[in-house]
Chain A
Amino acid sequence: MQGTQSVELTGEGFTVQNQEPSRVVFRGTVSMRDPSRVVGGYLRRIHDTAVASKLPEVTVELRELKFMNSSGLRVFLEWVENIRTGAHRYRLRLRINKSVSWQRSSFFAIADLAPEFVTVEST
């Protein structure tokens, strides 16, 4: 996850790409029973890199994420909590698809938990 090397996580029905340290792209459907180890672990490494590199922000592209179950949303809530309690606080910019209602309602709610460092862009 250093330089511009792309690191991809492939799961059942979804992919997550970390194309550069500050950009993460979700595609597909996350509906695993417990995504905490696989997806959570992947995002934790991105977080650790962001803290170590003192990145000002990380952008997460969610527009091609068709569905995420509530266990998947918990992974994002843990990410927000890791930023809140971490040694370096960076901005988490969530780019969502404005035509997908669950993305609007869930990710704006997550942003409302930490408006000082979580931003949602709806396009």
Chain B
Amino acid sequence: MASVQVPSDVAAQQLVHLQFRPMWKYIQGIRQFCDSFAATSFDDPELGHRVGLVIHELTENAIKYNRKDDQASLGITLRRLGNIVEVEVANTPEPEAVEGLRAKFSGLQSLPAREAYMAAMRRATTLPQGKSGLGLARVRHDGGMELALNIEQDVVRITARGTI
């Protein structure tokens, strides 16, 4: 399984934290803000686009599968760890979605990014309408970031890390 390791002596620098109700209408504005913020912070427009794409795809997934209640909340954090950029999306999915996510991660992480993306593309048109199954594979391939999944009780945190 691929991963991006952070040296133990590197301190995390939090750049952005957003906490909001998981609603679809927010996604585009959040992507545009994070794209622009990262481009400015790292003085790298291309990295800004990668961060924006990663946040967009992870946020879409989190909203699609989030628990439906009035207290639902979704958190996005952007950090710098030395020469690594980290995106974390945390939410509380419906319980049945958690096992599906574990299985999806297991399959996705067993392949290199390119192969996983091509496999997801071949499978996409066989899925029910409204689902592409491309999002996580796209984070790795188009976003150039490696993924990690952490589940504690009912909170799911997906972390994407890429080199600057």
**What is the 8 Å Cβ interface bit string for chain B, positions 80-121, against chain A (1 contact, 0 not)?**
000000000000000000000000000000000010011001
Number of A-B contacts defined by CB within 8 Å:
70
Inter-chain contact A29/B28, CB cutoff 8 Å:
yes
> B134 to A70, Cβ gap below 8 A?
yes
Proximity string of chain A (62-96) to chain B, C-beta cutoff 8 Å, 1 when within and 0 when not: 00000101110110011001000000000000000
How far, in Å, is A114 (CB) from chain B's closest CB?
11
B31: A residues at CB distance < 8 A: 31, 67
Minimum C-beta distance from A15 to chain B (A): 16
A-contact 0/1 string along B47-64, CB 8 Å cutoff: 001101100110010001
A34 contacts B by Cβ under 8 Å: yes
A110 to B132, CA, bound (A): 14
Chain A contacts of B124 at CB under 8 A? 73-74, 77
Identify which of residues 119-156 in chain B touch chain A, using a CB-to-CB cut-off of 8 Å: 121-122, 124-125, 127, 129-132, 134-135, 138, 141-142
Chain B, interface size category, equals: 20 to 34
B33 within 8 A of A: no
- A34 to chain B: closest residue by CB: B130
A106 at the interface (CB under 8 A from B): yes
Nearest A residue (CB) for B47: A101
- Cβ of A1 within 8 Å of any chain B Cβ, yes or no, is no
- Interface band, chain A: 20 to 34
A72 to B53 CA separation, bound complex (whole angstroms): 13
Task: Out of B27, B49, B130, B134, name the residue touching A101 (CB < 8 Å).
Answer: B49
User: Looking across the interface, which residue of chain B has its beta carbon closest to that of A70?
Assistant: B134
- Tell me the bound Cα distance from A100 to B52 in angstroms: 12
Q: Does B24 sit at the interface, judged by CB under 8 A? A: yes
Since A106-B142, A109-B121 are in contact, a sample of 12 more A-B pairs with Cβ atoms closer than 8 Å, ordered by chain A residue number, is A34-B130, A36-B130, A67-B56, A69-B56, A73-B124, A74-B132, A74-B134, A77-B125, A101-B50, A102-B49, A109-B141, A110-B121
7 A–B contacts from the bound complex (CB under 8 Å): A33-B60, A34-B130, A73-B124, A102-B53, A102-B142, A105-B141, A109-B114
